Structures are given as C-alpha cells and as structure tokens.
C-alpha cells in the first residue's frame, strides 16, 4: 500500500489518499492522470490493466486501486 | 445568411429532430430556436455590438445561449468553470464585459470573484420566454461572432476575435470535407470554450444534424466512451488525439468496437502511428482525417484523408477551399477569409503575427503566422515538423510554456522557474529554485491554472543550469526531466 501511495503521489501530490474515495467521481483525476497512473502501475506490479478495469469503482480510492492490483497479480501469475 | 437565419431555416425543416443532447437533456431544433430567441431578446436590451460572456457547463442550453447572443448582434465569449477561478477572473478582468449569461453553478462561481467592475449576471434559468423576437438589422459579416481565449506566453490569455464571415466560410468548407448531412450524428469531445467545438455545433445547425455532447467525466473510462458512442449511434467524431489514444491505449477497441463510426477526424497533436493503426484495424471501412489549424484561422485550415499505408507520421495535407498556405522560411502562413480579426484589445500582439504577406507589398494582404514549421513531402502534402517557439500541445490543448512560467513567477518564494516538455511522454516538468516547498508550489499552481496548463511534475533544484551566455539551459533541464 505504501508503494501505491507513492505512485499516486507522483501523479498528484495534493490528495489525501487515505480518505479520498472520489478520485474519479469528483473529477480529481482526469483522463491524462489515469493514463500516467495505469502506466506506472503496470510497470511497478508487472500486470496488464485492460479497458474493462478502467471503471470508477476500481479507481475512486487508493484502497480500491490496491484491491484491483492485488486481484490482477493473482489472476495473471 | 446569418447563423440565426440558418437555425430558423433548419428548425422549419426539422422542428422535432434532436439538435443537441448530452444523453440526459436534449433540445430539438424548434426548442433550440425558441431558447435562442429568448436569450436574444434578453441580451438585446442589455448589450449591443459588444462581448457577452457565456459561462455555462457543457450542456445543450449553452449552445442556445451562444446563438442567442449572436442573434442579438453581440459577440459571445464562451467560458467554463473548468478553467478555474483564477483564469476566468483574469479574462473577465481584462475583457470587462457588461453582461454575463450563466447557469446557476457558474453564476455562484463568478459571484465569489472579487472583480473591479463586476458584470451584470443574467441567469439562464430566469430568462423569460419571449413571445416575439425581431432580430436587429443585420450587421456586415466582418462583425466579430465570438472571442475565444488561448494561452499567451506572457502569462495572460489572449482573446482571438473571429468574424461571422470566417465562421460561416469555415463551417461550409469543413462540412464538405467531412460530408455532413442530416444523417450525421456528432460525438463532441472538446470543451465548448475551444474552437474545436465549432465543428460539432455549427454543421449541426446548418445541416440539421445531431450532436451529442459527451460528458467530460466519461473520458476517464474508455469502455464507457465506446458504449456511449454505440448507444447513440454516433457516426462522426473530431477529437483531439489524446482522447482517441485514451480509448485505443488500453485495448478497448479489442473488447468493444464503436461500430457506428464512419468518419473519424482528429487534430491538435501528432497521432502516434501505432495507436492510429489500432483504430484503423478496428474500423477498416471508416474515413480517417487529420485536420490542422490554430484558433487564429477559425478552427482548421488544412486536411489530409488517410489512404494507403502510413509509416512515418500522418501529413497535415492540403489547405481547405478558399484558403492558401504559404511556407515562408519553413513557417506556415495562412491566407484567406478565415484569418481571425486579431487579439481583442491587443493591437501590438495582433501586429506581431497578423502580418502583411511577405511575398509582396502591392496591397493590404494579411496572413497569419502560425509559428508551426512544416515541409512538403514527395506527394506535395504538408508535413508538420516542429514549433518555432515554446508552444506545446498538452492533453490536446495549446500551451505556452511561458504562460506557466509567468504565472508561477507571481508566487512568492520562487527565485527562478523553467518548464520543459518531454515530447515522448507528453509531460511538462517544472524546475524551480527558491524558498518554497514543492507541495506548496503545486497547490498554488492548481489554484492559478486550469488542469491542462498545470505541470505534471514539479522539481526543486538548488540552482538553475545556465548556458554560456547566461540563459537557462533548457537542454540540460530536459535531460534531467527524462532521467527522472
């Protein structure tokens, strides 16, 4: 989780990732941020993130992102 | 024929057909006409041939407001809360309009600003239905139709004023290239405060087509964008390249094909060839068009339809009808009736780039200097090479790195600042030296600049590297940015 927060801070460092659960719903992350984030996640965790994963439920909070990444690691290895 | 007359004619022909919709709210042509007339009647008693700001969220009503302002003989200036309070306040301060038409959220947003001469705000929802609207006597067609603000290198946005003649000429030649008819269903991606939205709005009004204003938030979820296109049978799009690559970049097109699309136009940036091929493989029978042009020539001035193999970059092609492109020392100069009137209230800045045709001095022949460098390929098509200055394209928006630097320069504690742009990653990195923490600086920048003007990374350094003659060494800064 710490690593993930670091990645998120690299995308935008003005968000409290411990509490925020509306990264997409409130438009905090725009499409460009998503592209940067997905690229960083794929590189760090060696997973593929397909279009079907790019839904608000997976990207609204650090917790949801963490769960998605964990799931993808299990599925893909 | 004026734009308002065009709308009247289309509304006569297709009264009940949907003109604009965002998927939730819609206006038919008859409703759009009635709404525009109401706006026009309310505006006409408050403003004459002057700029009227329309600050509304992306919604069919915003289009009715634009047409209403035009029908009243005034000049519309589209703004949006999305630009942020600092920027909208800067524009309102500089333009000093007497009247703003706003929806409720935007009116509250403007009311919070401390403006020296606050304009009268006309709430869209409170505009009364008028039973009768007589348009004012028609003005000559070199009257400005709109002013659109674009990034200015000295730190304040510049307002590009464009005439009715230029707008109408543009819409006819663009529509011919795109093949717009009443069967056309546009999927609008670009914000309405950018000239790129003209090509959805006006062909719809001229030809009785339909435009879906795709909600901005959908562009974080590519599959939903494609679902949206399919749900409304959208057949024509003209998007910035970043929006197209967002969809193709995640394998979306392998899962769901936007099968109703027949015409895909793009511009604003260079299309990475690998991403372009993903689109073409998914839609082998669609037309793909590269459209090129800056705001100062009313949208786009050159086009290229992709046919055959593309290996190293898509050309920007050939000029539209009634437009000439001159290459002068490698720079693209544009000539013709769509050259803008200039920068509103800024004769000096206007004179710098709207200049006499360098090939003769026999009569007044104003051309626009784009600052884009290009060459002709072996087929006689224009190919974009690079910029002559520090203007870049970020997220599909035009950005002057100088504007970001000048804005940052206003923040206390900053000794020096320089922005570099990495073309490969599309990221802006800001380097600065001074007595302020990175987090504080990013937070301050977010208040002052809209998202597309914000640097993607902010890095503190002890001292700016300098070149031999004492200028900031951008080359080593770029290397530093790439190293991170």
Q: Does B153 touch chain A (CB under 8 A)?
A: no
- Domains of chain B from N-terminus onward: 1-136 (3.40.50.980), 394-483 (3.30.300.30)
**Distance in angstroms (rounded) separating the CA atoms of residues B83 and B27:** 25
**Distance in angstroms (rounded) separating the CA atoms of residues A40 and A35:** 9
Please state, rounded to an integer, the average pLDDT across all residues of chain A.
88
Q: Tell me what pLDDT residue A11 has.
A: 82
Q: Tell me what pLDDT residue B79 has.
A: 97
Arithmetic mean of pLDDT, A52-70: 93
Please state, rounded to an integer, the average pLDDT across all residues of chain B.
93
Arithmetic mean of pLDDT, B176-200: 94
**Distance in angstroms (rounded) separating the CA atoms of residues B148 and A50:** 38
Model pLDDT for residues B124-152, shown as the tens digit of each residue: 999 999 877 888 888 899 999 999 999 88
Instruction: Report the CATH fold assignment for A2-76.
Output: 1.10.1200
Residue A4 to chain B, least CA–CA distance (Å): 17
Arithmetic mean of pLDDT, B173-188: 96
Confidence bin at B59 (pLDDT 50/70/90) = very high
Percent over 90 (pLDDT), chain B: 70
Nearest-10 crossing angle of helices A62-76, A2-11: 120
Model pLDDT for residues B396-419, shown as the tens digit of each residue: 888 989 899 988 988 988 889 999
Chain A residues whose CB is inside 8 A of the B457 CB are: 10
Q: Tell me what pLDDT residue A67 has.
A: 95
Percent over 70 (pLDDT), chain B: 100
Arithmetic mean of pLDDT, B392-399: 85
Tell me what ipTM this predicted complex has: 0.76
**Distance in angstroms (rounded) separating the CA atoms of residues B242 and B103:** 29
Model pLDDT for residues B433-456, shown as the tens digit of each residue: 999 988 889 888 988 898 889 998
Structure tokens at B86: 């600092």
The distance from CA B102 to its chain's CA centroid, rounded to whole angstroms, is: 20
**Distance in angstroms (rounded) separating the CA atoms of residues B351 and B295:** 16
- pTM value is 0.89
Arithmetic mean of pLDDT, B214-230: 91
Other beta carbons within 10 angstroms of residue B29's beta carbon come to 25
Sign of CA dihedral B366, B340, B323, B239: positive
Chain B residues whose CB is inside 8 A of the A30 CB are: 219-220, 395, 451
Q: B353, B349, B483, B350: which is closest to B429 by C-alpha?
A: B483
**Distance in angstroms (rounded) separating the CA atoms of residues B119 and B147:** 17
Are the Cβ atoms of B221 and A54 closer than 8 angstroms?
A: yes
Other beta carbons within 10 angstroms of residue A57's beta carbon come to 13
Other beta carbons within 10 angstroms of residue B406's beta carbon come to 16
What string of DSSP letters covers B58-122? SSHHHHHHHHHHHHTT-EEEEE-GGG-HHHHHHHHHHH--SEEEE-HHHHHHHHTS--SSPPEEE
CA-based nearest residue in chain B for residue A10: B457
The Cα diameter of chain B in Å comes to: 71
Give the least confident one: B37-51, B92-106, B263-277. B263-277
Interface mutation target, options B244, B246, B250, B258, chain A, most CBs of A under 10 Å: B250
Strands of B276-350, DSSP E: 287-292, 302-305, 318-319, 324-328, 331-335, 342-343
- Closest residue to A51, CB basis, from B243, B252, B456: B252
Arithmetic mean of pLDDT, B264-284: 91
Residue B95 to chain A, least CA–CA distance (Å): 29
Confidence bin at B33 (pLDDT 50/70/90) = very high
Is residue B455 within 8 Å of B445, Cβ to Cβ?
yes
Residue B484 predicted with pLDDT over 60? no
**Distance in angstroms (rounded) separating the CA atoms of residues B219 and B242:** 10
Residues of A with CB under 8 A from a CB of B: 10, 13-14, 24, 27, 29-32, 34-36, 38, 49-52, 54-56, 59
Structure tokens at B335: 């000539």
Q: Tell me what pLDDT residue B202 has.
A: 97
Residue A30 to chain B, least CA–CA distance (Å): 6
Q: Tell me what pLDDT residue A33 has.
A: 83
């Amino acid at each position: 989780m710490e690593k993930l927060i670091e990645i998120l801070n690299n995308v935008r460092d003005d968000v409290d990732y411990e509490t925020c659960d509306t990264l997409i719903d409130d438009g905090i992350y725009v499409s460009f941020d998503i592209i940067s984030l997905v690229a960083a996640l794929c590189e760090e965790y060696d997973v593929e993130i397909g279009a079907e994963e790019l839904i608000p439920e997976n990207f609204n909070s650090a917790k949801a992102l963490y769960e998605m990444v964990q799931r993808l690691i299990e599925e893909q290895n | 024929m004026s734009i308002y007359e065009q709308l009247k004619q289309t509304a006569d022909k297709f009264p009940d057909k949907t003109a604009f919709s965002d998927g939730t709210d819609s206006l038919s042509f008859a409703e759009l006409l009635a709404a525009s007339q109401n706006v026009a009647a309310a505006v006409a008693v408050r403003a004459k041939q002057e700029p009227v700001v329309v600050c509304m969220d992306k919604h069919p009503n915003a289009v009715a407001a634009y047409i209403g302002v035009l029908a009243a003989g005034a000049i519309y200036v589209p703004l949006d809360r999305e630009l942020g309070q600092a920027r909208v306040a800067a524009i309102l301060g500089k333009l000093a309009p007497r009247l703003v038409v706003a929806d409720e959220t935007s009116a509250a947003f403007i009311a919070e600003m401390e403006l020296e001469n606050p304009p009268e705000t006309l709430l869209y929802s409170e505009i009364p239905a008028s039973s009768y609207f007589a348009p004012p006597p028609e003005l000559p067609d070199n009257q400005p139709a709109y002013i659109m603000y674009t990034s200015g290198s000295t730190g304040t946005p510049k307002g590009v004023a464009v005439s009715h003649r230029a707008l109408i000429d543009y819409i006819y030649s663009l529509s011919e290239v795109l093949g717009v008819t009443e069967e056309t269903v546009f999927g609008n991606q670009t914000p309405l405060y950018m000239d790129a939205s003209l090509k959805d709005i006006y062909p719809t009004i001229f030809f009785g087509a339909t435009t879906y204003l795709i909600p901005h938030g959908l562009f974080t979820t590519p599959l939903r964008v494609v679902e949206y296109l399919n749900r409304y049978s959208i057949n024509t799009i003209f998007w910035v390249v970043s929006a197209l690559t967002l969809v193709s970049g995640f394998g979306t097109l392998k899962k769901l094909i936007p099968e109703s699309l027949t015409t895909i136009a793009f511009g604003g940036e260079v299309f990475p060839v690998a991403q372009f091929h993903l689109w073409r493989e998914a839609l082998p029978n669609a037309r793909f068009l590269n459209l090129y042009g800056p705001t100062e020539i009313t949208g786009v001035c050159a086009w290229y339809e992709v046919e055959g193999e593309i290996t190293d970059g898509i050309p920007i092609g050939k000029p539209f009808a009634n437009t000439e492109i001159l290459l002068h020392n490698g720079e693209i100069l544009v000539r013709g009736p769509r050259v803008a009137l200039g920068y509103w209230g800024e004769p000096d800045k206007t004179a710098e780039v709207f200049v006499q045709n360098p090939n003769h001095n026999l009569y007044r022949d104003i051309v626009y200097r784009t600052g884009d460098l290009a060459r002709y390929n072996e087929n006689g098509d224009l190919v974009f090479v690079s910029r002559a200055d520090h203007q870049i394209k970020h997220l599909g928006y035009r950005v002057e790195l100088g504007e970001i630097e000048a804005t940052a320069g206003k923040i206390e504690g900053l000794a020096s600042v320089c922005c570099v742009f990495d073309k490969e990653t599309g990221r802006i990195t800001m380097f600065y030296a001074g007595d302020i923490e990175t987090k504080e600086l990013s937070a301050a920048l977010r208040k002052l600049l809209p998202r597309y003007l914000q640097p993607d990374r902010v890095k503190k350094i002890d001292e700016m590297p300098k070149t031999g003659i004492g200028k900031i060494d951008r080359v080593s800064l770029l290397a530093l940015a790439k190293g991170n």
